[in-house]
Amino acid sequence: MIRLDNVSKFYYSKGVIAAGFSKISLDFDVGEFVAITGESGSGKSTLLNVISGLDTYEEGEMYINGEETSHYTEKDFEDYRRKYIGNIFQNFNLVNSYTVYQNVELVLLLAGVKRRDAKKRANELIDRCGLHDYRNAKASKLSGGQKQRVAIARALAKDTPIIIADEPTGNLDSESAADIIKLLSEIARDKLVIIVTHNFDQVEPYITRKIKMHDGKVLEDTKYDREEYVSEEAKPTLAVANNIRFPSMVRLGVRNAFNIPVKFLLLTFVFIFVTLALIFEMSIYQSEVYENGLLGYNYYFSNTSENRLVIRQKADDNSYRALTDEDVKTLEKTPNVKIVEKYDVLMDNQATFEDERGNFYIYGIAQNLKNYEFGDLDYGRMPEKPNEILIATTKNSYTIPSSDKLIKEFMSTDLYKYSRAGWTRDDKHPFRVVGIKFIENSDSPVIRAYESIMYLDDSIIEEMRIDSNATFSRYKILFQDVTYSTDMMWPMFNILPSEAVESGTCWVSDDYNMYVKNGFNAQGKDLKIIVNNNYYDDELNLTVSKVYNKQSFTSAYQLENGQRFEDVKGFILVNDKDLNKLYDKESYQVCVFVDDAMQVDKTANDIRDLGYEVLIIRDTLYNDGEGAILQLLNKVIILGVAIVLLVISYFVIRIILKSRNVYYSTIRMLGANVGVSRGLLIIDMMVCAGIGYFVVVGALKLLNIWFSSTYILKTVTEFMTIPQYALVFAIVILISLIISVRYSSKLFKKSTMQTIKEEV
C-alpha cells in the first residue's frame, strides 16, 4: 500500500546539503511487522518521517495505494496522516496533564468521533493495552512502559492502517520493552507496523521483515515467513476524515483552560489585571468628563444638580401654560424620574434662616416635609408644628455645627427666615431645627456636595413659593405716562406689602408729587405695577390713596430692626393681598430630578416626546474652554496608557503560551489543523478571560456592598454603566481572540516536523 520509488530526502542547513537518505525504493503492505535497524544517523528516522507525511521528500515518488504524492500540499499530507498514520515516538508525546483516558479520547475527538462512541472505543483500547487500572491516572505519573502503552492505545484509536514507531522502546527497561514489542506484533496482524529499533534480538521473534540501513541507503531487506502474515488491501476503516465536532471542541477547550492550574491562574490573573485596569481607566475618564461638565456655573440657576431637568409647555397661543397636577403625575411616571417638584421656582430660592445674633446662618433647598424619605434621624425628632424644621445634610456640609455640644445649642436657638432672596428677615416668627439627618451626597438627586435639604411645612413652602416668584420678577411702574423700572439702588420704585393699605390702592412718598404734571399732588392718580418674570406677565392697576410722610408710613409698615425710614422712603406701599395676587401663580415651570444622572439625556428626550420643553441644567452650565483642552489631554493620556497596558499583557500572555507549544504540536501530530488548534486556544483563553472579568466585576460589586463609602470604590463603580461594563468585556474578549489567532497562526507557519522536533 506504500511504495517508495527512488525517493531521496535532503536537508539544507547553513548552505550545506546533507542527505537524510537517498534513492530508496521500498514496498510495504498490511500485515507486515517491519523492523528497521542501522547505526545512528543512517537515515531511519528520516525515512519514517517521510512515510508518515511529517516531512517532505525531494526526489523520486512515494505512492499511497497507488496514488502519487509528489504534488501533495501540506494540507493533503495532513489529511493523509489523519486517515492513514498512527505515530509512536521514543519520548511518547503524550499530553502530560491529561489522564490516560483523556489522551486516548483526545485523538478520537479530534477525528470527529462523537463523545459517546469515543468513550466506548477509548475504554476498549485502554483495556487492550493493559491500562485498565490506570484509566484515570495522569500521564505524567506513569512509568515509561505505561506511557508507551498509552501512546500505542492512542495510535490505535483512529484505527489507521499504518502504525509507525520510531524507537518506541528506546526509553524503556528491557522488560517493558519486550511487553511493548509483543503488543505491537499483535497489532500488526491487520495493520502495517514499521518500527525502528536498536535491539534487533528483542524484535526478531515477532517481525515479518527486517530492513537494515547504512548511510542513507538500504543495506539489507529480509522477509520472514510467518503464519500470521495476512495480506489484504487496507483502507481506513473508521470515519476519520471528519473534523472535530463543535461540542467536543468546547469540551476540550474548557478542559485545557483548567487542566494546568498554574497556567490557568497566570492567564486568569493577567485578565484580572487587564479588566481592572480597563475599568479604572474608563471610570477615571468618565469621572473627568463628568467633573468637567460640572466645572461650570450659570447665572440663572442656583441649584445646578446634574440630576435636574426644568420643564415647561407651550399652549396653543404660544405662551407658556400653567402646569397642573396631571402634568406632575405624567412626569412622575416617566422612567428614571425620581422627584417631580411642581414649583421649579422653589429650587433656585434656598430656604435661609439665621438666629438673632448671626451665630447660625443656614440655608438649604426647601422640600415638603411630606417627601422626607431617609428614615431614622441622627438628632432630635420629626417636626410637628409649622415652625419646626428638619434638616437632611451631608456630614461635611457647613450647615450643621461640628460638635455635639454646638448641635445642642443650635437646636435650641430661635431662627428667623429670610425672604426676597435674602434681603428681608422676618423677625416676628421664630423657627427651630428639631431634627437632623445625615445623608450621603448620592442619596438625594436634589443636592450636590455640601448642600442641605430643609424639610418644611406645607404652609411655609407655600410662602416661599410666592416669595420666590417675587424674588425672580422684574417690575415696572407706570405713573403719569412714564415707565420706571424698579431698582434696588433707587428705592422709589420698589414695593412693600402692608395690611394698612386698602385693596386697589397704594401709598406713595411725596417724591411722586414732582412727577405729577399739573398740581404737584399724586393723591388720586393712577399707578400701574407691571410684573414680568421668566414664567408669566401680570399687572396691578391701583389708585394712589395716600402720599405718606414718616409718621403715616411707620403707622402702616413696621420698620425692621436697625432699619430707618430714610432707607425705605420712596417705596410704594401696596395692600398685601393685592401684592400676593401678583405672585401667587400657578406653576409654569416644573422641576424633575432623575435617579441616574448618567441617563439624564435619555430621560430628557422621553419627556420631550411627551410634548414638553426640557432644559437639562447640566448643559446650561457655563464652561470656559479650559475644560475642553483638559478633556482632550485626558483622552490622549488614557489612550496611551491603554495601549501600553495591552502591549504588556500581550507579551505576558505570549510568554505563558510558550509553555503550550508542546500541547499544540502534539495535537497537530494527532491530526488537528490550524483551525482546530485556533478554536481550542480561543475557547481556552476566553474561559480565562471571562473568569478574570467576572471575578473583577463580582469583587467590585461585593466590595461596594461591604465598604460602600470608600471614595475610590465609589469613583470606580459610580461611573460604570452597563454598556461600559459590556465594552470592557468586549475588549477583554477581543484581546484573548487576537492573541489566540496570532499565536496559532504562528505555530502553523512552521512545518509539522519543525514543531515536533523543536518542542518535544
Which stretches of the chain bind Mg ion, using CB under 5 A? 45
Cα–Cα nearest to 100, from 75, 73, 80, 129: 129
Closest CB 47 distance from ligand ADP, rounded Å: 7
Question: According to the binding rule CB under 6 A, does residue 639 interact with ligand ADP?
Answer: no
Considering CB distances under 5 to 8 angstroms, the limit depending on partner class, which of Mg ion, ligand ADP, none binds residue 13?
A: ligand ADP
Of 38-46, 156-164, 284-292, 397-405: span binding ligand ADP (CB under 6 A): 38-46
Q: Give the cell for residue 208.
A: 515479518
Q: Of the two residues 11 and 224, which places its CB atom closer to ligand ADP in the complex?
A: 11
| d(C-alpha 457, C-alpha 610), whole Å | 32
| d(C-alpha 208, C-alpha 228), whole Å | 9
Amino acid identity of 209? R
Q: Tell whether the torsion through CA atoms of 691, 692, 697 and 698 is positive or negative.
A: positive
Q: Of the two residues 184 and 696, which places its CB atom closer to Mg ion in the complex?
A: 184
* DSSP conformational letter for 97: T
Question: According to the binding rule CB under 6 A, does residue 13 interact with ligand ADP?
Answer: yes
Q: Of the two residues 407 and 760, which places its CB atom closer to Mg ion in the complex?
A: 760
Q: Give the cell for residue 452.
A: 442641605
Of 12-20, 369-377, 419-427, 585-593: span binding ligand ADP (CB under 6 A): 12-20
Q: Of the two residues 17 and 489, which places its CB atom closer to ligand ADP in the complex?
A: 17
Cα–Cα nearest to 196, from 21, 23, 56: 21
Question: According to the binding rule CB under 6 A, does residue 99 interact with ligand ADP?
Answer: no
Q: Of the two residues 42 and 349, which places its CB atom closer to ligand ADP in the complex?
A: 42
Question: According to the binding rule CB under 6 A, does residue 45 interact with ligand ADP?
Answer: yes
Closest CB 44 distance from Mg ion, rounded Å: 5
Considering CB distances under 5 to 8 angstroms, the limit depending on partner class, which of Mg ion, ligand ADP, none binds residue 149?
A: none
Closest CB 214 distance from ligand ADP, rounded Å: 10
| In 191-314, beta strands by DSSP E | 192-196, 209-214, 217-223, 308-312
Q: Give the cell for residue 462.
A: 407655600
Closest CB 169 distance from ligand ADP, rounded Å: 15
Closest CB 41 distance from Mg ion, rounded Å: 8
Closest CB 91 distance from Mg ion, rounded Å: 12
Question: According to the binding rule CB under 6 A, does residue 561 interact with ligand ADP?
Answer: no
| d(C-alpha 578, C-alpha 558), whole Å | 19
Site string for ligand ADP, 469-508 (x = CB under 6 A): ----------------------------------------
Considering CB distances under 5 to 8 angstroms, the limit depending on partner class, which of Mg ion, ligand ADP, none binds residue 18?
A: ligand ADP
Which helix (H) or strand (E) segment is 513 a member of?
Answer: none
Question: According to the binding rule CB under 6 A, does residue 46 interact with ligand ADP?
Answer: yes
Judged by CB under 6 A, the number of residues near ligand ADP is: 12
Closest CB 674 distance from ligand ADP, rounded Å: 22
| In 503-601, beta strands by DSSP E | 505-509, 526-532, 537-548, 572-575, 590-594
**Cβ atoms of residues 391 and 456 within 8 Å:** no
Radius of gyration over alpha carbons of the chain, in Å? 46
| d(C-alpha 616, C-alpha 620), whole Å | 7
Q: Which of 18, 643, 699, 738 binds ligand ADP (CB under 6 A)?
A: 18
Q: Which of 6, 11, 204, 694 binds ligand ADP (CB under 6 A)?
A: 11
Q: Give the cell for residue 241.
A: 476524515
Considering CB distances under 5 to 8 angstroms, the limit depending on partner class, which of ligand ADP, Mg ion, none binds residue 224?
A: none
Q: How far is CA 439 from CA 278, 569, 653, in A?
A: 31, 46, 46
Question: According to the binding rule CB under 6 A, does residue 212 interact with ligand ADP?
Answer: no
Question: According to the binding rule CB under 6 A, does residue 170 interact with ligand ADP?
Answer: no
Reduce the DSSP state of residue 723 to 3 states and report it.
Answer: helix
Question: According to the binding rule CB under 6 A, does residue 20 interact with ligand ADP?
Answer: yes
Q: Which of 40, 136, 318, 551 binds ligand ADP (CB under 6 A)?
A: 40
Question: According to the binding rule CB under 6 A, does residue 44 interact with ligand ADP?
Answer: yes
**How wide is the angle at C-alpha 406 spanned by C-alphas 400 and 407, nearest 5°?**
50
**Sequence-ordered list of residues with C-beta below 8 angstroms from that of 301, at least 6 positions apart, any chain:** 308, 310, 347, 348, 617, 620
Question: According to the binding rule CB under 6 A, does residue 241 interact with ligand ADP?
Answer: no
Closest CB 694 distance from ligand ADP, rounded Å: 46
Question: According to the binding rule CB under 6 A, does residue 42 interact with ligand ADP?
Answer: yes
* DSSP secondary structure, 33-54, as one string: EEEEE--TTSSHHHHHHHHHTS
- For the chain, helix (H) and strand (E) counts, in that order, are 23, 28
Residues that bind ligand ADP (CB under 6 A): 11, 13, 18, 20, 38, 40-46
